[in-house]
Amino acid sequence: MRRRVLTATGAVALVAGSVVAPVGNTPAHAEARECTEGVTRFVPEAPPAVARLGAAKAWSLSTGKGVVVAVVDSGVAANNVHFPKGSVLTGKSFVGGPATTDESGHGTAIAGAIAARDIGEKSGVVGIAPGATILPVKITGGENGGDEEQQRSANLAPGIAWAVSAGADVINLSLSTTANRADLRAAVAAAVKAGVVVVASGGNREQAADAKDGLRYPAAYPGVIGVAATNGADVVTPNSIRGPQVDLAAPGDNVVSTFRSWGDCVFSQEQQSSSYATAYVAGAAALLRQRLPQASPAVIAHRLEATASRGSRTVRNDVAGWGVVQPYEAMTTVLDESVAGPVAPGGVARPTPPPAVSRIDLTPAPDPRAPDRGAVLWLLLGVGAAVLALGMTRMLRQPQGS
């Protein structure tokens, strides 16, 4: 059997058999290795990203409760056990059928990384913002069939606009395109203006028609938080597109999340790594939105970027942006002029100091033995003068004409 699977760029990958995604090879993940349709399995260990992002500490301040996160994707399987009643809204489908179903599994995995509920010891799966509410906006798949790339292109901007009208606080866009489209740009700008935090994938290399590094949209639009994926060592995966659109990074390797209607699955870094990373940043934004309900999207983005973990506090790059997101620090750090990093909303860019000029000091170093040398010199001069005087005296005493 070959089945269609939605990729992070909206393209369709044909996957042989009933396995929906590559999975981890560790013994702890063995029982979820197959991720077979119709077979419910659970992964007992918590997602590595939850620990890496300090989620337990962040949950002491916020769980995302009351925050609505729109997942504009392939739908969300609301009957997964990690989504109890009320955690997934009805949403809207632009492709026929309910938005609370998911033919590919991509949207459900994204929603789980954001807001899956803890169901006890049999499963370790939990989202980074387990109190948030998911709003599914289904723009691909569905009952209408058809070309999913065309569906995504036609439905993405309307899907974003609908999410804003339906009350989304955060919009997750685990997708990207090289096309700078006017309708998409306008939809994103309207969302940001309405106070919605928009988070988007910086791009996945294996799924891109153009695999070269460079701008990807909607991540590159003003006000959008663009995301790259990291592995377990906080190194950005080779699959993540590099470019100016990258603002932050988050885990995208060995992601343990919800698998359609059937419990859990372990998704590897291959192909869709920045999709999962985007979900974790969207979840972090949901934590901040609950904690700072009046904060603008720009303030939330600045907090996430200024407090991210990175090697250089003063410089971003096109690989990891400002670094790996740190939700607890983003909620608690006092941001003032002493904090290095991105400029705060409304702030003035810090002047770049001129490079230091090395000057060579030509001032002679003091000679520690100069006094001794001076004394010897004066002694020699004195002796020489005495000898000369003695010689002249002898010459004057000699009788003349002798």
Structural contact between residues 279 and 251, judged by C-beta atoms closer than 8 angstroms: no
- Is 73 marked active-site? yes
Given 106, 123, 174, 274, which residue is catalytic? 106
Q: What is the DSSP letter of 324?
A: B
Nearest one of 220, 222, 216, 217 to 191, comparing CA atoms = 222
Show the tokens assigned to 368: 């520690």
Given 62, 73, 104, 273, which residue is catalytic? 73
Give the helix/strand (H/E) hosting 229: strand 224-230
Structural contact between residues 77 and 261, judged by C-beta atoms closer than 8 angstroms: yes
Q: From start to end of 99-216, where are the E strands?
A: 133-138, 170-173, 197-201
CA distance 94 to 75: 10
CA distance 24 to 308: 27
Given 257, 274, 275, 302, which residue is catalytic? 275
- Is 253 marked active-site? no
CA angle 133, 191, 206 (to 5 degrees): 80
List C-alpha distances in Å: 323 to 32, 101, 209.
31, 34, 27
Say what the alpha-carbon torsion angle 164, 168, 174, 176 is, to the nearest 10 degrees.
20
| Beta-strand relationship, 12-16 and 2-6 | antiparallel
| Three-class DSSP category at 34 | coil
- Is 106 marked active-site? yes
Active-site residue list: 73, 106, 275
